[in-house]
Amino acid sequence: MDKLKLLNYMKTKQIMIALFAISLMACKNITSCETDLVADNVTFATQQIGHQVKLIEKAGQFINPRTIKDDKIQYIPFDDWTSGFFPGSMWYMYKLTGDEKWKNLGIKYTESIDSAKYVTSHHDVGFIVMCSFGNALKATKNEAYKEVIVQAAKSLATRYRPTPGVIQSWDEDKGWQGTRGWMCPVIIDNMMNLELFFETTKFTGDSSFYKMAVSHADVTMANHFRKDNSCYHVVDYDKIKGGVRSKQTAQGFADESAWARGQAWALYGYTVCYRETKDKKYLDFAEKIYNFIFTNKNMPDDLIPYWDFNDPNIPNAPRDASTAAIIASALYELSTFDKPEYKETADKIITSLSSPSYRAILGTNGNFLLMHSVGSIPHGHEIDVPLNYADYYFLEALTRKKGLEK
């Protein structure tokens, strides 16, 4: 971007920030403001994602966008852990707009990653399939999608290790940092895959999937968390004798730091566990995670977290919009469990994400919705870029917000 273009961009952004602030101050009816915020985001998303769709359709095949690098959109294969998010975004666009266009795109893009149901090389098949086929099933009631979900659960079950009672995340010699002498590494992200097991039990009546999900949640609760209710990123188990071998990080600042997105996965994951089991210990634990996040001295006023709560460069450390979107979506659901106060926090996050500080200008940002997300700073990977899962959870949060405010 040359200097003239950069100057014009900054002027435009400053004007948008001013207009956004004025619109918030001018809005006197809270319910109307909240509705307008959702409607404004839906209008923007329709246009912005519409640009992305045009590029995909022009290619003549489904190319699955994940992020941008060197101002170019990066596309991914079906077995990438993020491959379900863009198809899933189609389903939330359909739910938010009612436009059949998004339903048809959802079917097309979801069915294009059908082979993901056979992935056994990592644990993220839950992410991939539930975000795409899980949402597709809810929207279409197509029974064929149940078969995909059940097969995906069977694939994920191959990674369950009975002795420690957990789902192994990465193979011993793979993962972000290659071999570190791991035997059975489990990352906090894995909590997000448990919904796949819960759903499969409903479809099949096979309680073994339910039991694996509960075991993983309980063992993770016992070993992944510190006294302040922050969580480690990686816990390595002994899959022969049982027990913990080490506690580390791969994507956070340090082994003992609180990697922000890890806290978000934990909050969301235990919220789902409560929804599916109605065991109050999971609701109580989600509340403890919430308290750690929002009483942390390094949480910014706009509630968009720094990428790691313990980065010594705070306040000059990168923010992570993806973490904020995940947290907001979890809080909207958490608020439905007789916890209405959590909606207020989620609303504040969504208001911040909707501002020009985080939401892209139309036609920029590789046609992604949100700016300023972080993949992995220790690996120099996806730093201060858009990410498809930030957009997915932003749209999910907007969908939940809209549903609550009807």
Torsion angles phi and psi, residue 390, rounded to 5 = -65, -45
**Which helix (DSSP H) or strand (DSSP E) does residue 75 occupy?**
strand 72-76
Q: For 308, which DSSP code?
A: B
Q: How far apart are CA 72 and CA 368, in angstroms?
A: 12
What token pair was written down for 261? 């997105």
Q: Scanning the structure block, which residue is given the tokens 């998004």?
A: 102
**Shortest CA distance to 259 belongs to which of 222, 296, 288?**
296
Is 124 designated active site?
yes
**Is the CA virtual torsion 54, 55, 56, 57 positive or negative?**
positive
Catalytic residue among 36, 173, 189, 302: 189
The residue annotated as part of the active site, out of 124, 308, 320, 391, is: 124
Among positive and negative, which fits the CA dihedral 214, 219, 222, 228? negative
Q: Are 261 and 323 in contact (CB under 8 A)?
A: yes
DSSP label of 377: G
Tokens of 80: 């990438």
Which DSSP letter does residue 384 get?
A: E
CA 19 to CA 82: how far, in whole Å? 34
Q: Is 376 helix (H, G, I), strand (E, B) or coil?
A: strand
CA distance 2 to 27: 38
Alpha-carbon distance values, 259 to 162, 253, 255, 324 (Å): 28, 7, 9, 13
List the one residue out of 178, 193, 37 whose CA is nearest residue 124: 193
d(CA 35, CA 56): 31
Token readout for 148 is 């995909």
Distance CA 113, CA 147 (A): 14
Residue type, 136: A
DSSP bridge partners of 186: 235
Does residue 189 carry a catalytic annotation? Answer: yes
Q: Are residues 320 and 260 in contact, defined by beta-carbon separation less than 8 angstroms? A: yes
Q: Which residues are catalytic?
A: 124, 189
